[in-house]
Chain A
Amino acid sequence: MRIRPSDRDRFDRMRRVEWMDMESVQLRRCLMVGAGALGNEVLKCLVLSGFRDITVVDMDEIVPSNLSRCLFFREEDVGRAPKAQVLAERASSLDSAVTIRPVVSRIQDAEDWDFDIVLGCLDNISARLHVNSHARYHGAPYVDGATDGLSGKVHTVLRDGPCLQCAMNRSHMKVLERRYTCTGREATLYSRPLAAEITTTSVVAAMEVREALKIASGREDLCVREVMYYDGMSGSIEKVELDVDPGCPNHGDREAIA
């Protein structure tokens, strides 16, 4: 079979996107927090897009209910190994040039925050607020994704824009409080699993990685500044404007925050 010169380069088609800087993308260090449904889809898109240095943090193990939404998990993985480890192994097979480091831990216990881009694939407000404040303090742009059934959201937090906490109100804090006991310790209480399905997860993950590609290409000016709300029933995306909250603790002087 003859292969045309333009087909010999894995990223030839991506280089044809005007603003894409593949050399820069390949050098960026990414932190992906969460190796569940969104994590599987985000990691797939990151590796196929040319990111080569990715750290995946997750503390969990694979259970059968994950298998309807997780591309890289198999039936034989149930109970075999932590999600982060399985995900790193399988996604690495997409590109021999990629290095994926699994970290089996709660993000609250992670110490290394030396990354160029952080991607959130989480399922609770507590972890989101932790990643939001740490990414901001360390100067890394943070792209957060969330889903609920056929609805989804993507919020890109840039150095000069509003953060996740700026968008929160008392209803978020009430959800957060339910995770804690009266002594302030995080409690393991039963909470009803949220609705989730793969098509919405895929759309939200793709939106997250597209924003990461803009950042990695040095084109933060192209990032969507508003919070994007996706409605899978109508197929619509609504952009909601948000300002920096002057009372948000994440927007003071960096030394003052420390």
Chain B
Amino acid sequence: MTVRITVKNIAANATMRMEVEPQETMADVIQCAAEYWSKDSGAYILKKGKTMLRGDRTAEETGLVNDDVLELIPDPEGGGNGTA
């Protein structure tokens, strides 16, 4: 059954509502949210509460239910000098 969730964009302090099908993965949610906010094609993680959600898990496997709030966080890649 489709669930309606909220995704928070931590970097932009914004939220969006999203309908997710049971077979859609957390990677699908990340991609959809990143496209919605027209974000750079960088790396992101998705978390629910204090737990990071695995990208290959479906909404059903993750146990998403209506009104769940997920957080989209940019995953930093830098640290050298951008030339390696």
Q: Which of A37, A38, A69, A148 has the most CB of B within 10 A?
A: A148
Number of interface residues of A (CB under 8 A): 54
B42 & A60 in contact (Cβ 8 Å cutoff): no
How many chain B residues have a CB neighbour from A under 8 Å? 31
Which residues of B lie under 8 Å from residue A145 when comparing CB positions?
Answer: 79
Contact of A153 with B76 in the complex, beta carbons under 8 Å: yes
Q: Once the chains bind, are B52 and A227 in contact (CB under 8 Å)?
A: yes
B75: which A residues are within 8 A, CB to CB? 146, 153, 167, 171-172
List CB contacts (< 8 Å) of A41-84 with chain B.
58-60, 63, 65-66, 69-70
Comparing A16-24, A110-118, A132-140, A239-247, the segment that makes contact with chain B is: A239-247
Which residues of the partner chain A approach B61 to less than 8 Å between Cβ atoms? none
Q: Is the CB of A169 within 8 A of B84?
A: no
Tell me if B74 and A151 are in contact (CB < 8 A): yes
Q: Does A8 contact B (CB under 8 A)?
A: no
Q: Are B31 and A245 in contact (CB under 8 A)?
A: no
Q: Is the CB of A63 within 8 A of B77?
A: no
Are B52 and A170 closer than 8 Å at their CB atoms?
no
A-B interface pairs (CB < 8 A), number: 136
Question: Which residues 177-200 of A sit at the B interface, judged by CB distance below 8 A?
Answer: 178, 191, 193-196
The listed residue (A34, A36, A168, A243) touching B55 by CB distance below 8 A is A168
A38 touches B77 (CB 8 A): no
Told that A36-B79, A240-B50 touch, could you supply 17 new A-B pairs with CB distance under 8 A? A34-B79, A39-B80, A65-B81, A123-B77, A123-B80, A124-B84, A146-B75, A146-B77, A147-B79, A148-B78, A169-B30, A169-B55, A170-B55, A174-B41, A175-B41, A239-B50, A245-B54
Q: What are 15 A-B pairs with beta-carbon distances under 8 A?
A: A36-B84, A69-B81, A124-B84, A125-B43, A151-B76, A167-B45, A168-B55, A194-B77, A196-B82, A201-B79, A226-B50, A240-B45, A241-B50, A241-B51, A245-B54
Task: Report which A residues bind B (CB closer than 8 A).
Answer: 34-39, 58-60, 63, 65-66, 69-70, 120-125, 127, 145-148, 151-153, 167-172, 174-175, 178, 191, 193-196, 201, 204, 226-227, 229, 239-243, 245, 247
